[in-house]
Structure 1
Amino acid sequence: MINDNDLIETLEELEAFVMLVDKGGLGLKDVAGIALATNNSNGRPFVAVLDDKHQLLLGRWVTQEVFENGKEIVQFGGKKPH
């Protein structure tokens, strides 16, 4: 499920979203991973929260810039506070 009104526009917003998912702040069950992907029908980029069967639990649209530059944030997670 992706809400058209939820657009992640900056790398900081992406990092905050990843950290929120990692901490269980969205109440999602069976989260197995987070990935950047593109919609098959229109090519629009989004960040996907996936379960262990690679099914979409939650998605948020991202800008093209976030899609291109946010891969490390998604792969390695957000920064941990010092």
Structure 2
Amino acid sequence: MNNELDIIESLEELEQFLISVEAGGLGLEGVEGVGMATNNSDGRHFVAVFNSSHKVLLARWITKEVFDNGKDLVRNGPRRTH
């Protein structure tokens, strides 16, 4: 992951992360999607930003609570605007 200490711990933090991605505030180019997944080696959950080739542009660790409750937020996008 990009920063082992930078963990998204709440749905509000996840929403802010998604808003930043949509607004281009993270300096990422070619963003095509966002998804949540589980690391096969240690079982930790993360949210990742992908390009059109499904290459990970940025990933952040998330807590189990955020993984369990943030799926609709990732699927449907943030409620707030940039």
Whether the TM-score (by the shorter chain) exceeds 0.5 is yes
Shift of 1:8: 0.3
Consecutive aligned runs of 4 or more in structure 1 exceeding 6 Å deviation: none
Shift of 1:80: 2.6
Q: How many residues align?
A: 81
Residue deviations 1:25-82 (CA, integer Å, cap 9, x gap): 101011010000111211110000011111111001000000000001101111134x
Aligned Cα root-mean-square deviation (Å): 1.0
TM-score after normalising by structure 2: 0.93
Partner of 1:6: 6
Partner of 1:47: 47
Shift of 1:2: 2.5
Query: Structure 1 stretches of 5 or more lacking a match?
Result: none
Query: Structure 2 stretches of 5 or more lacking a match?
Result: none
